[in-house]
């Protein structure tokens, strides 16, 4: 059932001008900072080059060297590259090309479109990844693009083009990159969208429908999945019976589940004439959290539809269809709640 627009608006509100201005200011500050840092690096490099030239000119000349002849400074001994930590298997992994930029192995997998960084860490711990022919089970092991990194025998390479998709997920599709049981996955719905390897951000269970983001941007996936950013999600829930006022107030005040207390950010009847349809706003990323809230009070969830995720809705995207995010939407996602998390006190 589609929530009536006048009721639906109480859950999905357009951002205020103040919020938009703050996002713009954050983006502007970040760009200015990056430019300033780049200029500082350039100045430091030029100063070092000038100092080296001056030192070469002022260096004492060996006896017998004709005046005006150039003096060649002895090359400084090359600094040995820091040794990489040995993998937990006890084998020594041959390093790739010296001097290549390095990154943690789980980040490398994420940038290769395998999965989010957290999921990549689990894949590595299971021993599915080899670096230069040796199994590595440490997610933080440093690698570069020059290394031969393989997942189950298939060579990986960080992507050159970042892709961002919004899918209106239908029922009976699981939110994984592949399924050993041969069930349909969300990637089956977006195969024609791109040749890049993409993966879903977070999970929706098989029978949950609605907004799902897919990307090969590991850093963005990590951010949107991290609890500290408190990414807002809104669901439309259809129950097997009407939600009583007492249970409504209980959920509003917070319920204690097996993994702790959970309190929604907002709760409302989606239809004043049918109190079995509920709108719930929540930022928790715990597994099956919405279903478990209502099941805890004895209700059965008949349908669960995510109507908004991180400010994005499925408007104009039919069930089972997808669209690319705009540059503006991607930019907003990258700065979403950034100022909020910086101000949060450390635990």
Phi-psi region of 182 (alpha: psi -120 to 50; beta: other; left: phi over 0): left
Q: Which of 172, 179, 188, 205 is catalytic?
A: 205
Does residue 209 sit in helix, strand or coil? strand
What is the rounded CA–CA span in Å between residue 21 and residue 288? 35
Q: 234 Cβ partners below 8 Å, 6+ apart?
A: 11, 12, 279, 280, 281, 282, 306, 307, 308, 309
What's the farthest any 2 CA atoms get from each other in the chain? Answer: 103
> Is residue 147 annotated as a catalytic residue, yes or no?
no
Q: How far is CA 51 from CA 41, 47, 184, 253, in A?
A: 15, 6, 63, 67
What is the rounded CA–CA span in Å between residue 115 and residue 200? 8
Could you tell me the two tokens for 217? Answer: 């941007």
The DSSP symbol for 227 reads: G
Q: Supply the residues annotated as catalytic.
A: 205
């Amino acid at each position: 059932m589609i929530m009536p627009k006048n009721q639906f608006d109480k859950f999905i509100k357009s951002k205020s001008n103040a919020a938009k201005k703050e996002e713009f200011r954050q983006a502007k500050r970040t760009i200015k900072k990056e430019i300033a840092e780049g200029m500082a690096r350039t100045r430091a490099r030029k100063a070092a080059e000038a100092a080296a030239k001056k030192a070469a000119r002022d260096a004492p000349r060996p006896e017998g060297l004709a005046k005006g002849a150039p003096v060649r400074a002895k090359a400084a001994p090359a600094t040995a590259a820091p040794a990489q930590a040995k993998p937990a298997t006890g084998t020594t992994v041959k390093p790739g090309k010296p001097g290549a930029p390095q990154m943690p192995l789980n980040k490398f997998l994420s940038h290769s479109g395998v999965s989010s960084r957290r999921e990549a860490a689990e894949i590595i711990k299971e021993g599915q990844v080899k670096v230069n022919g040796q199994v590595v089970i440490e997610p933080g092991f440093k690698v570069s693009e020059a290394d031969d990194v393989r997942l189950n025998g298939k060579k990986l390479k960080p992507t050159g083009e970042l892709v961002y998709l919004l899918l209106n997920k239908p029922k009976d599709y699981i939110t994984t990159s592949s399924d050993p049981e041969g069930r349909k996955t969300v990637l089956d719905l977006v195969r024609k969208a791109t040749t890049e390897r993409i993966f879903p951000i977070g999970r929706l269970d098989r029978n949950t429908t609605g907004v799902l983001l897919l990307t090969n941007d590991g850093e963005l996936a990590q951010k949107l999945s991290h609890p500290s950013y408190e990414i807002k999600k809104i669901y439309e829930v259809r129950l097997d019976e009407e939600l009583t006022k007492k249970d409504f107030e209980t959920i509003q005040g917070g319920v204690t589940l097996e993994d702790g207390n959970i309190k929604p950010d907002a709760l409302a009847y989606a239809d004043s004439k049918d109190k079995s349809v509920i709108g719930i706003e929540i930022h928790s990323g715990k597994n099956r959290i919405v279903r478990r809230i209502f099941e805890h009070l004895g209700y059965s969830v008949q349908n669960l539809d995510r109507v908004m995720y991180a400010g994005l809705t499925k408007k104009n995207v039919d069930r089972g269809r997808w669209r690319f995010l705009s540059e503006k939407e991607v930019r907003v996602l990258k700065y979403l709640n950034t100022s909020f998390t910086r101000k949060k006190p450390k635990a």
